[in-house]
Amino acid sequence: MKVINTSPKYIEWLNAELMHEESTRWLSELRFIKDEDHFFEDLIKLFTLQLIDSKNFTKSKELVSQIKRLRIKNAELINAIIIHEKELKIMVDGKNQLKEEALYKEKHRDTLIAVKKYFKEYRNLKSQIFKTIKGVMKIEKQKLLLP
């Protein structure tokens, strides 16, 4: 999935309900990633000895640092989206606050871009983790098959 730069005209068409649904979907996906992160942590612990092998050490160290960085970013995004959701009342309070509503829409657009960027980084990390673990598992399987 590509990060698509949205135009301010697109954001103007979004109503409060659509922005709420999108924010809720983001929160759901980020919380799932948070849980999935624990799975990757356990997977890495399971193959720790193989991953610290001289061939895999540098790559493994890089993966672990990326996991930590994205874990922090995940928590930041979750908190930002929760705050963003609470600020949605500006859009539905029935008052004409054009400046505040425009700022909220701009913030929503910025959040959209940040979330899409995070999802892209996370998918790349996820594929790197699977690729590395798959390689380690193949080597281990070969060791078991050879007498």
**How confident is the model over 107-124, as pLDDT tens digits?**
999 999 999 999 999 999
CA 29 and chain centroid, separation = 8
- Give the pLDDT mean for 35-58: 83
CA–CA gap between residue 110 and residue 115 (Å, rounded): 9
pTM of the complete model: 0.80
- Give the pLDDT mean for 72-81: 95
For residue 21, the one-letter residue type is E
- Give the pLDDT mean for 54-81: 89
Average pLDDT, the chain: 84
49 closest CA partner among 124, 129, 133, 146: 133
Positive or negative, the CA dihedral 107, 113, 117, 120 is positive
pLDDT greater than 80 at residue 43: yes
